[in-house]
A and B are shown apart, each in its own frame.
Chain A
Amino acid sequence: MSLIDISGNLLFVAFIAYLVATLFFGGSIKQSNATGKNTDKWGKLAIAITIIGFLSQLGYFITRWIHTGHAPVSNMFEFTTAFGMFIVAAFILIYFIYRMTVLGLVALPVALLIIAYAAMFPNEVSPLVPSLQSHWLTIHVITAALGQSILAISAVAGLIYLLKVVDVTKPTKERFWLETVMFCLVVVVGFVIATSTFNAMDYESKYSYVDKEGTERQITYNMPPIFGMNEFKAIEEQGMSPIVEMPSLINAKKLTTVVWSLLVGSILYLLIRLIARRRISAIFQPFVKRVNLQLVDEIGYRSVLIGFPVFTLGALIFAMIWAQIAWSRFWGWDPKEVWALITWLFYAAFLHLRLSKGWEGKKSAWLALIGFGIILFNLIAVNLILAGLHSYASN
């Protein structure tokens, strides 16, 4: 077995371990006759499995690093997987500060979703373009991802806080938005299901099209095309033809992926609602019933406090140093840079609101969720939609 195969297997082991640990975390809280002692025992087991999973993923990270010769954070698959790993690391850190079991019940599924999402991108080892051949790749990307992961824990705490506080029996705006957050998580599952199903079917359709600058290009769809590219012509088509043609500004392939994910996600969501006869937020509520709200609020705030300096260092300062070396200017208003700045400004606003206006509890929890939304936007949308120097896929 070659090193890269070992690496892949370790990642798989980690994924399974996180899954099992999530169940244990759930079990530790859910037991109807749960006594403090019982919860403690199950919780300890769960955190032990989490640590095993984390070590296994660390093994994946190191073996892949040795195999490729550079820190495995250079494309969408590698970076997103690492992001998932750092979220688990941040969770373990916060767990040992506050010993709160319920955190695992939300943090691990989030990490699982992120790793599953990562697995949908090509996982081949890709060679580095000259601008990425630098030690700063390792330093900048790892620090930035670590900072984002710690910040993500505040969203985890925020979600727990809201699940307990928001009254899901009354039709309020809060209930709607909380359920929207849950729906988004289900859509990620939808994306994973849709992508892996069509991958398993080896689905492929090829088209030629005219891009926005008027050049003729080719594109390969890995999902049945709902939307066609500008002036598309089929080269090799399977099953269906695009239903609607899009203007050259819109990448119809990506739009197709989004719509498939939404479709599958919505069906899944409806199924869950039909079977459970409850909102997803209501399903989770029994798990957070006994949560100490003040402590959750404190964890949310503390993770921002711990993560903010790390994020500043990695995503802004190290980034500027590298940009000065590689691109001759420390700042160039590239979309990824701008969104890192936006993330930073947002958390700065978060801290000031909390410090001087006393935005605690519910307000703070919502802000933490929005902050995580911005981080994910920077990871997903900026890389895949707003092209720039950082879009890993392009040259």
Chain B
Amino acid sequence: MTVDRVAGVALVLIGLATVWESRAFPLGSLHHPGPAYMPVVLAGLLIVFGAAVFAMGGGARNLRQVGWPEWRHAVAIFAACAFAAWGLERLGYRVTMAVVVGFLLLGLERKGWVVGLALTLVMAWGSFYVFDTLLRVPLPRGFFGL
């Protein structure tokens, strides 16, 4: 299976899912389009393009040739970002960012404790000071006003 074939199938599936979900809104008519009209037209186009990518994708790279050497890092960074999204309004900006930066520098990248902790504190508290205190961009606070 080539990368273009995989991508083509994915695009067709996204198009089909959109058409299915668009049933919830009035389609209108060709002359008087309703709220579902444009999404259905675009989904139709996506299905056509996806099918064409699939059909013409026989000569593309094989999916097995795509290297994923960085996948462990990518998963860890994704997890750190997901934690940030979860924690921002629950734990507060500074605690969340301290955990994220600390995890990335000390846990993932194995930087020294001194450098790691110093950067963690500077990034979490420093960025809060610059944006929230100096630039008046409101950032969420958690326990004990942190």
Tell whether A and B belong to one assembly. no
Interface of B toward A, CB cutoff 8 Å: none
